[in-house]
Structure 1
Amino acid sequence: MTVEIIIVLALLALAIVFFAMEWLPVDIITLSLLVALVVSGILTPAEAFSGFANEMVIILASVFVLSSAMLKSGVMDWLSDSIRRYGGRTETRAKGILLTITAATSAFLSNTVATAMLMPAVLRIARDAEASPSRFLMPVAYASILGGACTLIGTSTNIAGSAMAAQLGLQPFSMFEFLGIGLLMATSGIVWLVFFSNRLTPAHAPVEPGEEIGAQAYLSALVVPEGSRAEGRAIGALKLGTIGVTALSVVRAGKRLNPHHRRKLAGGDLLIVRAPRESLLRAEADLGLAIDASQHFSDRDVEHDEIAMAEAVLLAQSNLVGRTLKQLDFHRRYGVRVVAIHRPGHARPAKIENMRLQVGDVLLVQGAQQDLESLRGNRNLWGLLEVESRVLTHRQGAITVGTVLTAVMLGAWGVLPLSITLLSAAIALVMARFVTMEEAYRFIEWRLLVLIAGLTSFGGAMIETGAAMFLAELIVGVTLPFGVTVSMAAFALLTVLLTQPMSNAAAALTVIPVAAASAETLGVDARALVILVTLSASLSFITPLEPACLLVYGPGRYHFRDFVRAGLPLTVICLTLLLIFLPVFWPL
C-alpha cells in the first residue's frame, strides 16, 4: 500500500464520517477534499476541478430550472385534480392510480418536488377512501423514488453516476437507458405497495374531515396585548378548545405558571399553546391575542395584504439542525419570522425561539410574499405549501410543457447533446419571462452541483492512486469464492447502506470507482457495474432520511421504525430484480 493510497483512503473515511455526522455542509466537505488532494500533490488544480467541467453539471442545473418552470405551468395542479377525480373511493384503486401517476411524474421532476406537490391531493384521496393518510403518504414517497430511477433526469443520483462514468472513460448514460429495468422495478414496487404492504404500512391516525397539510398541531406562543379582549379574562372564559387551541403554559414576568382554567390573563402574558395553523389565526382574530415571534415582522414596512404564511420542513442536510432560532437570528437571515413549530411526538411547553431545531421539524413562517417565495429553493428549508406568486396562463403553461418535452426528446433521439437541448430550453423559458433569472438561480441546488462535481474528481483520484483497486480487491477477495453474483450483490448492498448516512449521490460516487476497479477481476463489464451501483443508490427505502420520505414523516405521523419495517421488503425486491435483470439489459 502506497502513501498516496493511505492518504486517499483516510480522506474517504473522514468524508464518510463528516457526511454522516453532518458537522459541516456537504459542499464544504467536498471542497475540502479537493483542497487536501491538491495540497498533498495527488491531484493538480486542473484535475481537482475537472468535475466542474463535466456536462452533467450543466444537465443538472438545467433540470432544476426546467422543474421550476413546470411547477409554475400548473401541470402539477392538473395532475392533482385528475388523481382526485379518477382515484375512486376504494383504498386499493385510489392507491394504485396515485402511485402510478406519482412515479410517472417523478421520472421528469425530482422525487422531493413530486412528493411535495402531490401531498394535498394525497390527503384528500385518503379522506375520500376513509383510510388513514399514513397508508398513502409513505407509498407515495416510495413511488417517487421508484419513478426517479427510470430516466437520466429523474434523480440527481443518475446524473451523478453518468458524470462518474464519463470520468472513468466509459460512455455516459443516455436519457432512457434505465427505462426498461426502471419500469420493471417501479411496476413491481407499486404492485407490492398497493396489494401487499398494508400490514407493514402503519395507520397511525384516521383522516378527519378537512384535514390537509397545515392541520397538524404546532407549538407556538400567543401574547396578551395591553388592552386586548383577553386581558383580565380567565383562560377558561376564552373557550380556546372551541377553536382548536390547547393551552400548555403561561409565562408571566419570566415565571412559568400552570394554565388553570380559572387563571386570569394579564397584559404582556405569554400563552404557550398547541394548535393548528388556522386555529392560531382565529385566536388572533377572535380573541385579540397576538402570535409572538420575539422579533418585528420585517426590516422594511410592508402592507398588511402583502403578508402571508407558509410551511417549511427542516431537511436532513440542513445546517440549521441543532441550533435555536435565537442563535440563528432567523428573521434577519431569511427576512421572515417563525411563528410556530410542529414536531411529531413533542408535547412539552417551550418557547419556540429556545428550541433546538431537529430534522423533520415543520416551521410555520410569516413574511412578505417575496421572502416566503425565496424559501422554496432553499436547501436548509423546503417550502411545503404553495406560496402566492405569479403563475403562468394556460397558454404559457402549455408552451412550457411543450418546450421541456421537446428538449427531452431531442436529447433522447441524439439530434443534439442532452446538455445542449436542456440548456437551450431553460434559456428559452427565461428569455420568454416564464421564469425570471432570480427564480432560475434560486431553484438550482448549488450544494448538490458542488457535491457531484467534487466527488467526481475525488473518484478519479481513487482510480489514479490505486485506492479503488485496493478496496475492490478486498471486497472481491471475500465474495468471489461464492460467485460473481454475490460480489455484485455486495457492491449493491454496500451502496444501499452508505445512502443511509450519506446522500444518494455521494454514496454512488463513493462506490462507483471501487466497483469499476473490480470489473477485470470479476470478468464483467465495468459499465454494467457502474449502472448497478447507480441504481442501487436510489433504493433508499429503509430510513426516512431521503428528502422525499422526510417530507411525509411529519404529516404521516410516522416513527423511524415504520420505514424500516415497510422499506426493507421493498429494498429486497428491487435489489433482487436489479441483480437478476441487469445482465439482460447490459450483458456482462
Structure 2
Amino acid sequence: MGLDAWLVLGVIVVAVLLFVTEFFSIDVVALLILCSLVLLGIISPEEGVAGFANPATITVAFMFVLSAALLKTGALQLMTPKLAGLFKSNYLLGMISLVLFVGFTSAFVNNTPVVAVFIPVAVQIAHTSNISPSKLLIPISFASIFGGVCSLIGTSTNIVVSGVAMKNGLPEFGMFEMSPLGLIFLVIGTLYIAFIGIKLLPDRSVAEGFKSSVSFRDFLTEIELKEDGAFTGQRIMDSPIVKELEMDILEVRRNGQKYGLPPGDMVLLSGDVLKVRCNVEKIKGLKDLVKIQSQSAVSIGEEALNNQGMTLVELVITSQSSFEGKTLREIDFRRSYRAVPLAIRHREEVLHEHLHEVPLKAGDVILAEIKTHHLTELKKQETHHESPFLILSEEGVMDFKKKRFLFVLTIIGTIVFLAAFNLVNIMIGAIAGTAILVVSKSITMKEVYQAIEWKVVFLLAGALSLGVAMQKSGLAAIIASSLIDSLGEFGPIAIVSGLYLVTALLTEMMSNNATAALLAPIAIVTAQSLDLSPTPFLMAVTFAASASFMTPVGYQTNTMVYSAGGYKFTDYFKVGWPLSLVFWIVASILIPIIFPF
C-alpha cells in the first residue's frame, strides 16, 4: 500500500474507535474525518465539502421535514386506543399489527421520528394493556428497521448508498427497487418478533429516568359524563374510564348528592360528575379515547375534550404567591392566563371539594391546558419578579388534523409516485414538497430547521468524503482485492454473503450511515474487478447496514428505546443475534436471485 492508503486506513481506524466509544458525537467525528483528509492532502478542500452538496445529503435533510409535517398532523397518535384495545383482546394479533403498522409507516416516513412518536404511544398501550413497555419498544425499533429497507426513502442509509452509486457514475436506486427483498425481510422479521422475539424480551418496568414529572404525577380532576353510550349506562367496573384507563374514581356527584368511593357495580348516568385521581398520561389517554368514540362524550375541568393545538403545563404555586388562599374561580384563572385548569395536586391530601372551589396553597400544582401559541406569553409572565407560579413542565397534546393529514399525505404520495416513475428526481421532489408545505402553512420555516437531524447531515457529509479518499488512495481497491482473494474461489455469491456479514458486524459497532458510506465504494470496486453488476453488492451493503439488532448503539432507533424500555445491553444481543443470523442467510440466498449479477 502507498502512503495515502495507509493514512486513510489510519483515519478509518481512529474514526471507528471514536464511533464505537462515542467519545465524541457522530457529527463531530464526521467533521474530524473531513478535516483530517483535507489537511493530509488526500482530498482537496472542494472534495472535502462536496458531501454537503451531495444529492443524498440534501435528500435526507428534506425527507426529515416531510416526515415531521406528517407527524405534526397527529395521525400516528390516533392509533393508540385502537392498538391498545387490540392488545387487550388478542396479544399476538396486537403485536403483529403494531409491527406491521410501524414497518409500513417507516417505509415512507423516516424511521427515527416514527420511533420518537411511538415511544410514548407504546408506553401508553403497555399501561392500558397491563403489559411491560419492554415487551413493545425493541419490537417497535426493529419494525422501523424492517420497514426502512422497503423503499428508497425509508431510511437515510438507502439514500447514502444510492448517492455513492451516483457519484461513481452508476444509476441511482429506484424508489421501490429494494421492495421485493425488503417486504420479505418485513414478513420474516414480523413473524420472528411475534413467535420468538417476544419470548426473549425482558419483562421489565419502564425506566425511572423516562418517567417525566408531567406524565406520572398523580392529580385530582373532575370528569362530567354527557350523553354517550360508551361512557354511560355501564357499571363503574365496566366503564372504559376504569377498565381501560385505570383511573381511580373517588367520588360521584349526581343530582346534588355525593357518593364517596362508589362501589364498582354502581351504574354511571348522563350528567354524573366523577372525581378521579390520575396522571397526565391517563388524561391524554382519555382524550384519545374520546376522539375515537365521541367528540362530546366527556368534559374535564369544565371543558369539553375537543380542543386543537393544546399543550399541557404544570404550574407550581410559589411561596407568598397571590394565588395562596384563593380559588381558581376567584383569581379568574381561565381568563387571566388563557388556560383551562384540568386538575390540582393539593400536596398529599385527597380533596373532595369542587375543583374550582379548592383554596390554593404554596406548593400546589395546577395541571392546565393552554393554546400552544399562548405558551410563550405564559413563560414571559413566569419571569416576572412577582409571578404567582413557576412552570414545572410542559407537554404537547397532539390532535389529529384530518384535512392537514390528507394534504400532507397527498404531497408525499405525489413525490413518491413521480420519483418511482423517474418523472422527478427524489431530491428535487423533497425540496419542492417542503416548499409547498411551507407556503400552505402546513409547517413553518422554524419547524423545517428543527425537523432536520443536523447530526445525520454532518455525518453523511463527512462519511462521503471518506469514500472519496478511499477510492483516490487506492484503499478501496486493496480491500476489494483481499475480499476477492479470500472468497473468490467460492464464487460471487460467497463474496456478496461475505460483504453482507462484514457490513452487518461493523454496523453493530458504529453508525449505520457511516458503515454504508465506508463499504459502498468497496462493493463497487469489487463488482468492477469481477466485471459483474454492482447492484447485488450494493444491495448487500444497503440491507446489512440497516440490519443492526444485536446492540443498542448500531442503529439510532435502538439507542432511542434503550432507556425508555429499561433495557440492558445484553437484551439486544439475546433478541437480535438469531434475527441477524436469519437475515444473513436469507440475504445470501435471495440477493443474487432478486438482483442478478
Q: 1:407 aligns with which of 415, 419, 431?
A: 415
Alpha-carbon deviations, 1:192-235, whole Å to 9, x = none? 1112223312223499xxx9973799999xxxxxxxxxxxxxxx
Specify which of 523, 526, 529 is matched with residue 518 of structure 1: 526
1:287-326 residue pairs with structure 2 within 5 A?
none
Q: 2:177 is aligned with what amino acid?
A: E
Would you say 1:487 and 2:495 are equivalent positions? yes
Structure 1 residue 427, shift from structure 2 partner: 0.3
Aligned 8 A contact 1:307 1:366 in 2: no
Partner in structure 1 of residue 595 of structure 2: 586
Deviation at 1:398, TM superposition (A): 1.9
SS at match of 1:197: helix
Task: State the match for 2:139 in structure 1.
Answer: 139
SS of residue paired to 1:199 = helix
Deviating more after overlay: 461-470 vs 33-42: 33-42
Deviation by residue 1:25-50 (Cα, 9 ceiling, x = unmatched): 32332233223323333222222222
Which blocks of at least 5 consecutive residues in structure 2 are unaligned? 218-276, 280-318, 320-343, 350-360, 366-374, 383-389
Note if contact 1:84-1:121 (Cα within 8 Å) is conserved in structure 2: no
SS in 2 for 1:198: helix
1:40 pairs with 2:40: yes
Q: C-alpha distance in 2, partners of 1:216/1:440?
A: 29
Q: AA paired with 1:527?
A: T
Residue in 1 aligned with 2:576? 567
SS in 1 for 2:514: helix
* Equivalent pair of 1:160/1:452 in contact (CA under 8 Å): yes
The counterpart of 1:553, out of the listed 559, 562, 577, is 562
The equivalent of 1:422 in structure 2 is: 430
Structure 1 residue runs of 5 or longer lacking an equivalent are 221-241, 245-266, 268-280, 292-300, 309-338, 340-364, 370-385
When residues 529 and 137 of structure 1 are mapped into structure 2, their CA distance, relative to the original with a 3 A threshold, is: same
Aligned residue type for 2:433: A
CA distance in 2 between counterparts of 1:23 and 1:541 reads 22
Q: Paired residue for 2:450? A: 442
User: What pairs with 1:498-509 in structure 2 (closer than 5 Å)?
Assistant: 498-509=506-517
Deviates most, 34-43 or 462-471: 34-43
Distance 1:10 1:284, change over 3 A: farther
Conserved 8 A contact 1:11-1:33: yes
In 1, the alpha carbon distance for the partners of 2:406 and 2:380 equals: 29
The amino acid of 1:561's aligned partner reads T
Asked if the contact 1:243/1:283 (under 8 Å) is kept, the reply is no
User: Which amino acid counterpart does residue 395 of structure 1 have in structure 2?
Assistant: K
Matched-pair contact (CA < 8 Å) for 2:524–2:538: yes
Please tell me the residue identity of whatever aligns with 1:549. N
Measure, in 1, the Cα distance between the counterparts of 2:209 and 2:26. Answer: 33
Paired position in structure 2 for 1:378: none
Alpha-carbon distance between aligned partners in 2 of 1:216 and 1:532, rounded to the nearest angstrom: 45
Which residue type is aligned with residue 562 of structure 1? Answer: D
> Who is 2:197 aligned against?
197
Shift of 1:401: 1.7
- Do 1:81 and 1:121's aligned partners in 2 also have CA atoms closer than 8 Å? no
Return 499-508 or 475-484, whichever deviates more: 475-484
Q: d(CA) in 1 for partners of 2:98 and 2:200?
A: 19
Give 1:284 deviation, angstroms: 5.7
SS at match of 2:503: helix
1:232-271 aligned within 5 A: none
Offset, 1:437: 0.6
User: 1:257: which partner in 2?
Assistant: none
Q: 2:480 aligns with which of 465, 472, 479?
A: 472
Tell me: CA distance 1:501–1:284, structure 2 relative to 1, closer, same or farther (3 Å): farther
User: 1:489 and 1:146 mapped to 2: Cα distance?
Assistant: 19
Secondary structure of residue in 2 paired with 1:387: strand
Which residue number corresponds to residue 74 of structure 1? 74
Match of 1:156 in 2: 156
What CA distance in whole angstroms lies between the structure 2 residues aligned with 1:555 and 1:447? 21
Q: Residue 510 of structure 2: SS of its match in structure 1?
A: coil
**Paired position in structure 1 for 2:112:** 112
Contact 1:89–1:129 (CA under 8 A) maintained in structure 2: no
Q: Answer with 452-461 or 73-82: which moved more.
A: 73-82
Inter-partner Cα distance in structure 2 for 1:488 and 1:199: 32
- Over the matched positions of the two proteins, sequence identity in percent amounts to 31
1:356-403 CA-to-partner distances (Å, cap 9, x unmatched) read: xxxxxxxxx956x6xxxxxxxxxxxxxxxx5358x7843223212211
CA contact (8 A) 2:27 2:459 kept: yes
TM-fit CA distance, 1:583: 1.2
Q: Give the counterpart of 2:469 among 461, 470, 478.
A: 461
- Whether the aligned pair in 2 keeps the contact of 1:197 and 1:566 (CA below 8 Å) is yes
Distance of 2:533 and 2:203 partners within structure 1:
45
Counterpart residue type for residue 145 of structure 2: I
For the 8 Å contact 1:73–1:398, the answer to whether it is kept is no
SS at match of 2:89: coil
CA shift digits 1:112-150 (9 cap, x unpaired): 222232234434444555433322222121111111111
CA root-mean-square deviation: 3.5
Normalised by the length of structure 1, the TM-score is 0.69
The one-character-per-residue Cα deviations of 1:281-303 (angstroms, maximum 9, x if unpaired) are 94868695599xxxxxxxxx976
Question: Between Structure 1 and Structure 2, whose CA radius of gyration is higher?
Answer: 2
Q: 1:558 to 1:33 in 2, by over 3 A?
A: closer
Per-residue CA distance 1:131-186 (angstroms, 9 max, x = gap) = 33322222121111111111111111111111111122211112111111000001
Q: How many residues align?
A: 449
Query: What displacement does 1:306 show?
Result: 8.0
